[in-house]
Structure 1
Amino acid sequence: MKIILDNIVFSLQKSGGISVVWYELLSRLFRDHFLISCIHYDNQNIFSTKLSYIEDKMINKGILRNPFVRYLNLRLPNEKEQFIFHSSYYRTSSNPLAINITTVHDFTYEYYNYGLSKWVHSLQKRRAIKRADYVICISEATKKDLLHFIPEFDEKKIKVIYNGVSDDYYKISTLSLKKNELPFPIRSYALFVGARDGYKNFSLAVKAIASSQLNLVIVGAPLSNEEKSFLKEHFEDMTRVFCTGRIDNVQLNVFYNCAYVLLYPSKYEGFGIPVLEAQKAGCPVIAYNASSIPEIIGDDSLLIHELSVDEIHRCLKILEDDIMRLQIINKGIINAQRFSWERMYDQVVELYHKAWNEKV
């Protein structure tokens, strides 16, 4: 079975969720010595640089100078025998011998973007889905969205394969931590992790924590001037706020372990990896009861049912009970065990074999 993988996402992101998924798949395919070629573009992606590529198996396209290349299907005329083609970001091969596999992560653009960017992205995604022999959806919620936006698509060609969660996240002894490793005392802060786009409801998180006794730690890109101004409006004492910038998994695991809670009021998620990272590290998660979150989080004790400060405060109050808090933490650790990158990998390879054998 020959596999050609399109690494274009590594040239579209320096990091990011889809890069994580692609890295976890690619590293295991390399490990197990599958017959793989990679269509590759020069990049500075932090996950790509961790991989050990086999040089003579690289179909190197150089630098992604032409911004339209990312939208083009690949002919691959030199391929004269059947092959699996799996792109990291909504491209397919027009070679008649290609077996096209497409992974769909979410429908954020369709729900929350507007104008030309939404139109171009949705057109490319729709075209990739319709040309696919099989589509991988990363949650049942994403599958439901796919059938909502493309109702004519054959449901039998959709396979739900959950993402995993890194083993870098686990319970640690907080007694071993040095005082300067954290900006605030243990359990005195709430965490907000990841992107802060409008539908992520960062502003709601700020309002909820500002009106509580907790401090706020923000993990992700540096704060914009607009975000700094918003924080100053709501926190009279800005020493209660700390932004880590982008940090590695080891550092993030420490922040999860020592937090009072991860606040994740996102209105829409295709999956929601930070929820599982926090659970693995023994950190309770307050999240919004929508999209994929109820499917992923397991226990619904800390799901908020409306996007309001009062609802978040209701869940923060639950965590004041030490017995209830411990029960929620233990349920979270058990729930996170349902998801692993190894399980994801095994199911993707199984789908490759299924698609291959149907064409032989």
Structure 2
Amino acid sequence: MQIDFHHAVTYVVARLAGFAHAKAEVIAHAAQYVDDATNEGLISFDNQAMYQRIASAHKMIDYKNIQKLANHQVWIPFHFLPGNEGLAAGENPDADFRHKIVCRPNSFVAQEMVRACINDHQKPNALHRLGITMHVFADTWAHQGFSGINDRINLVEDVLDENNDPDPSLLIQVKNYFLDRFDEAQSQFVGGLLPLGHGAALSYPDRPYLKWHYTNGEGLHIERDNPKDFITAADEMCKAMRRFQLGDADAKVAGLSPESRHQLETMMREIVEENGDKRHKVWLNAIANEAFGFPAEKLRYVAKGVGSWKYQAIKDNRAKQLKHQIYSYHPSFLDSDWKHFHDALQAHRFAVIHEILPRYGISAA
């Protein structure tokens, strides 16, 4: 999924689930920031204080994508949550690891992840953790059938939309970029890049309006209906966020109302635009015009630079951190959204990799 869903739709669903604007804004910002937190490493301050952060994403054309450890620690807990073949813990102990880690929608693993988040609902970074969790939860629908490692199951063929038309642009551009600049041995990087996640399927899994189909790397024909999957994800997110507010992961709650569900699904189907940022603007305009039954809000999102969470915390407006950079420390850093987000990233990753996945016989790092 892209910024239109992870930021705007998450915000709308949070409001419909009962969160006030300020809290919904934090949840939605954290949900999108999972895709934008690409820097990692140590932050050093002028009073000798330090803070260690982790990354929750890498850029698409990034050498880290072919480092298996980076795949396991970034793509698996934050983008391609293993689905254990849709089975509960202990039901497939002899299954092939490759198939256990393929992402599946609303899997038992995903439900345990949501439960772990709700159980921590009183912590200072709870809203940030909820946003991160909602990002990963939603992606179990968008990224279903793909895995967060370099594997042949991700090598799709015959990727076509509902009219049997291909998207000829991005795959050709990526291949030509490398073939034009490197020798044959170096161009094998493409082979390491595209089998990761849904790289070979381009942005088809992330566009809300698409119906499409493909043949996966194991020769299976797969039909996908993104509008149906995305609205189901939004409905389940609404239930999860209602349970979070109650502090009860087992509470019997409703999802979206029929009217809200119809409205969101209609927008997902009718905003037919390949560019996620342009779709995002349409959703923001709708939010600003009271389209969803709650008061109008001028929602905005700044990933990096002035106005971003990072800038507010450490006054850094660079896209990439300089080596040996020393930052001025202020006590407000400890309660900043940026620190709470990175604290929540680490808590989420630890819970997924070290507590939840081992119960399913999965060792991911």
Larger helix fraction of residues = 2
Please give the TM-score of this superposition, normalised by the length of structure 1.
Answer: 0.24
Bigger Rg, which one:
1
Higher strand residue share: 1
State the TM-score, normalizing by the size of structure 2. 0.24
**Structure of greater relative contact order (alpha carbons < 8 Å, 6+ residues apart):** 2
